[in-house]
Chain A
Amino acid sequence: MSSMSRPNRSAGNRRGSAGAVAQPSPWLPVGMLIVVLLPLLLMPLAAVFIFAFRGGVGAFIAALLIPDAQFALRFSLLIAFATAFLNGLIGTFAAYVLSRYRFPGERPLNIVVNLPVAIPTVVVGTSLLLLWGPIGLLGRWLDPLGLQPMFTPFGVLLAHLFVTFPYMLSTIKPLLDELETTYEEAAYTIGASRWQTFWYVTLPALRGGIFTGALLTFAHSLGEFGATVLVSGNLRLRTQTAPLYIFAQFEAGNIAAANAVAAVLAALSFVIFFFLLRYTGNGR
């Protein structure tokens, strides 16, 4: 027995680092993970770029310069900016109220504001149509007045506000919950009014969270499809967002045109994701 164990032990010592518990090589599980991720995530993403540039850079740029593509990208960006801005305001306000005030019905309200995460976006689109559309609950009264938010940029904005609402809230509320009330109380005793306290003390403490939340909202808005396709009417040069454009072009067989825009969207998402990582990762 002892003669057997000796060479084993010395081999083990040589392999493992001094004193550390022998750790199995990481390459097998890492390799397995990559094998799983490759067809699942990495290759589809690569395919978008490969197809986008298959006709050469010239064709890629030409495809991007089609007025419809330009409009779709711009429109998507504008909607994303507006959504991020408005939900930045509403979400911060909602987080502040939900975190700082205790009231009956607080728990149900907390669930309601987070509901959009769980609701399929198609259902969001349908429900907006059934409320604001010409045959909808409110829409049937508004329609005769010439007010019709659906199938207009405003309708798209409504859908995006709905779908992305929880992202702002869920990044800011934990920060606020964690931010002890003593900070605000300190400001009060120092002499700052409620508003000054919010402006000089609370808001700056949430800065990172607001930025992160806005980026998340922006990214989700940029990629929103399910609700948009229903409420936009998919009108080129009017309400066609980039994802709708991609889908329409893909359906029409213009794979190159679809892929060019898809590649731009993907690239934008990468950039946003990069900043998200930097901001959340560095924990400001």
Chain B
Amino acid sequence: MGVSKRVEINALYGGLMSIVLDQLIRWYGNQAIVDQVSLEVADGELFVLLGASGSGKSTVLRLIAGLIQPDAGRIVVHGRDVTAVPPQQRNMGFVFQNYSIFRHMTVAQNIEFGLKIRKVLASERARRRDELLDLVGLVGLGNRYAHQLSGGQQQRVALARALAYEPKVLLLDEPFGALDVKIRAQLRRTLKEIQRRLQITAILVTHDQEEAFELADRIGVIERGKLLEVGAPETLYAYPRTAFTATFLGTATVLVGRVDDGHACFGSLQLPLPLDSTIDYEDGDRVQILVRPEQVVLSITEPKTHVPVIGRGTIVEQSFAGDRRRLRLRLPHLPGVRQIAPVAPFGEEGLLVDTVVPTDVPLAGEAIWVSLRAWHMLKPPPRRLLLYDPAANTSVTPVLTRWLAEKLDATVTVLGIAATNEGIDPVGTMLQRYLDAADLPAELHLRVGDAEQHIITEQTESLYDLLVLGCGESTSTVATGQAPDVRMIERIARGAITPILLVKGSRTQLTRILICTAAGEPGKNDVRTGGRLARRFGAMVTILHVSHPVRGVSLLANAHLERAAATLRALDVTNTIQIYPSSTPAEGILHVAGTGDYDLIVIGNHGPITPALFGGSDVTRQVITHAPCSVLIVPDDAL
């Protein structure tokens, strides 16, 4: 039976893999510190698990060693399922950060310990011990005790001890973390040499990307228990898929722009989209660009026209690193662009770009042109919806949100606001029940205090594609936040770059959409955003223009309606144009929406500063207040 199982697993993994982790899960409380980690490490490979402290990397190592048990998943070593095998029988060497040299034993006794346990003859033990002392470069120190050795020497002993019984696998948990830089470099070389010579499969855990680069055949980046990316050091550095990997592996400038017209747009800078058939870029999608310091070109004079230029900036920070000088430049803000890395200090409005120059290059005092020599587009992050539904009425909003999430292929975050700290738990319970009732998978964010403030903060801190505000009647006993009134919605909308969906009425699907170009200057954004959503929803669109009852439709409006229709056609969205004369646009919109059985009104948020013909924001306010169905407010700034 053992044989047949072995064959099966070998067949499964081709017999090449030294270590196979299959969907490993380990819970800590109700949090997965190792979350479905699957990994294959080849024979003789030195694999480095790289992650910040608390990322779960050491836990993975301890799972492999058998020091803790996974809650789910399998560990296969050389074709043998060892998931249930105790650590003693896994035949692995383990090196700890704190060396863990047995203090009452000499170096020799420490090294021989594994052999003694295995009842190896004394003469054989001595031979092996001498070999290992030689291997780790500690000849002559066999009779010392741990307290007579330096940290580096102790770690060499630990390495020798772990290798003494010729394990199949060597596991190292931050082995150089407690050593100073010089010793660390020496030991890395020693480790690499030994690993190469013995051809032993090794997994090393570290938080130090330099160490990972230097040692690893392959690196696995781990964050919050999830193995994000695996790859060769150079590949991961140059072509990471996620922003986390990009920023974790070295200095990075990561910016978020939008796809427009088949290009990745960062303000005025347009870059070609990568020719990656697996990713279907759509206009309006977010796109992330990674620029490594060495890919930035600085020049005093304006670069030639075909060179992608970010702008002109000044040096705000610099640090001397021997042969190089690290620089941070501040450039003017690019409209519609958000910065992920470097993390901007609070209140920073400009764009920050990190770069590096040779130390002997003189630094100019004036503004410097910043352009790109090369760049890398990261994998577009999943779309995200932020739901705030204080009424927690389960009949409409969550059902509609689920429908939206499915249509937009988005993940949902629900914001719950408690009035006091004591209120947090009831609100959490309440919302969980609410989500369960609608069968809506979502992440819960619970906050205390002012709803408006938290919504704005949440929006600025994370990248959401849509903010969903429930405006239904409350049926719950626990308030999960203040109900959004018109003024609050206005204030949220004022600073928002995210479209806001106010859920009203009883529709749980949005298949009839009314896009209003009410004000004399119909926004391009309203049409684009509404159109893109309509395409996703498979909805029918009516473009509404409320004309002056006396003057009729102006030439400008006419041209604009034509352009809007063309845009929608380009998006493959069925649309009609309706012109409705009314002295007050709001009344017109509400009348059409009421009689036309629409599910959604799309309206621009032109803000109070726009001197609209019929009184700009007042229209928005009236529509928000009186609309019989849901309303989508599209901000000016949104692309």
Is residue B98 contacting chain A, with contact meaning CB distance below 8 A? yes
Stretch at the interface among A15-23, A67-75, A200-208, A227-235: A200-208
B68-97 interface with A by 8 A CB criterion: 86-94, 96
> Is there a chain B Cβ closer than 8 Å to A188's Cβ?
yes
- CB–CB A188/B88 < 8 A: yes
Q: Which among A6-14, A135-143, A190-198, A254-262 touches the partner chain? A: A190-198
In the bound complex, how far is the Cα of B118 from the Cα of A190, in angstroms?
Answer: 9
Contact with B along A179-193 (1 / 0, CB 8 A): 010110111111111
B161 touching A190, Cβ below 8 Å: yes
Of all chain A residues, which has the CB nearest B164? A190
A192 to B117, CA, bound (A): 6
B162 is an interface residue with CB less than 8 A from chain A: yes
Q: Does B104 contact A (CB under 8 A)?
A: yes
Q: Are B117 and A204 in contact (CB under 8 A)?
A: no
Complex: chain B residue closest to A183, CB-CB:
B100
Partner of A190, one of B66, B104, B117: B117
Are A180 and B98 in contact, with the CB atoms below 8 A? yes
User: Are A182 and B98 in contact (CB-based, < 8 A)?
Assistant: yes
Q: How far is the CA of A189 from the CA of B105 in the complex (A)?
A: 17
A207 and B104 within 8 A (CB): yes
Contact B102 A204 (CB under 8 A): yes
Contact A182 B88 (CB under 8 A): no
User: Do the beta carbons of B162 and A190 come within 8 Å of each other?
Assistant: yes
Nearest A residue to B173 by beta-carbon distance? A182
Q: Is the CB of B90 within 8 A of A189?
A: yes
Cα A187 to Cα B118 with chains together (Å): 12
Chain A residue, CB-CB nearest to B103: A205
Closest CB of chain B to A201's CB: distance in Å? 6
**B-facing mask of A158-196, CB < 8 A → 1, else 0?**
000000000000000000000010110111111111001
Q: Is the CB of B113 within 8 A of A187?
A: yes
Task: Determine the chain A residues whose CB is within 8 A of the CB of B388 once the complex forms.
Answer: none
Q: Chain B nearest CB: distance from A193 CB in Å?
A: 6
Contact yes or no, A186 B96, CB < 8 A? yes
Q: Which of B67, B103, B118, B171 touches A188 (beta carbons < 8 Å)? A: B67
B117 and A186 contact, CB distance less than 8 A: no
Which single member of A191, A201, A204 contacts B114 (CB below 8 Å)?
Answer: A191
Number of A-B residue pairs having CB atoms within 8 Å of each other in the complex: 68
1/0 contact string of B103-130 vs chain A (CB within 8 Å): 1110000000110011000000000000
B88–A193 CB distance below 8 A:
yes
Q: For A208, give the chain B residue with the smallest CB separation.
A: B104
Taking CB atoms, residues of chain B closer than 8 Å to A190 are 93-94, 113-114, 117, 161-162, 165
Cα-based distance from A187 to B66 in the complex (angstroms): 12
**Bound state CA distance, A185 and B171, in angstroms?**
13
Q: Which residue of A lies closest to B158 (CB)?
A: A186
Whether A192 pairs with B104 at a CB distance below 8 angstroms is: no
A104 to chain B, nearest CB (A): 16
Q: B289 on the interface (CB 8 Å rule)?
A: no
Interface centre among B94, B100, B171 (most CB of A within 10 A): B100
**Chain A: CB-nearest residue to B105:** A204
Q: Judge whether B65 is part of the interface by a CB distance below 8 angstroms.
A: yes
Bound Cα distance from A196 to B113, whole angstroms: 11
Minimal beta-carbon separation of A207 from chain B (angstroms): 7
Q: Which residues of A contact B165 (CB under 8 A)?
A: 190-191
A205 to B103 Cα, complex, angstroms: 7
Instruction: Knowing A180-B100, A183-B100, A187-B113, say if A192 contacts B88 (CB, 8 Å).
Output: yes
A185 contacts B113, CB within 8 Å?
no
Cα of A180 to Cα of B101 in the assembled complex, Å:
11
A186 touches B100 (CB 8 A): yes
Q: CB-CB < 8 A to B67: which residues of A?
A: 185, 188-189
8 A Cβ contacts from B44-81 to A: 62, 65-67
Q: If the complex has contacts A182-B96, A196-B117, A200-B113, are A189 and B162 also in contact, measured as CB distance less than 8 A?
A: yes
Complex Cα distance, B118 from A180, in Å, reads 24
Chain B residues contacting A182 (CB-CB under 8 Å) are 96, 98, 100
Contact B102 A201 (CB under 8 A): yes
Among A180, A185, A191, A205, contact of B117 (Cβ-Cβ < 8 Å): A191
Smallest CB separation, B58 vs chain A (Å): 11
Q: How far is the CA of A188 from the CA of B161 in the complex (A)?
A: 13
In the complex, what residues of A have CB within 8 A of residue B92's CB? 189
Q: List 5 A-B contacts (CB under 8 A).
A: A186-B94, A189-B87, A189-B94, A191-B88, A191-B91
- Name A residues whose Cβ lies closer than 8 Å to a Cβ of B: 180, 182-183, 185-193, 196, 200-201, 204-205, 207
List the interface of chain B (C-beta within 8 A of A): 62, 65-67, 86-94, 96, 98, 100, 102-105, 113-114, 117-118, 158, 161-162, 165, 171
Known: A180-B98, A183-B100. 16 other contacts (CB 8 A): A180-B100, A182-B100, A185-B62, A185-B94, A188-B66, A188-B87, A189-B90, A189-B92, A190-B113, A190-B114, A191-B165, A192-B88, A200-B113, A201-B102, A204-B105, A207-B104
Q: Which 7 A-B pairs have the closest CB atoms?
A: A189-B94, A204-B104, A190-B114, A186-B100, A188-B87, A182-B100, A182-B96
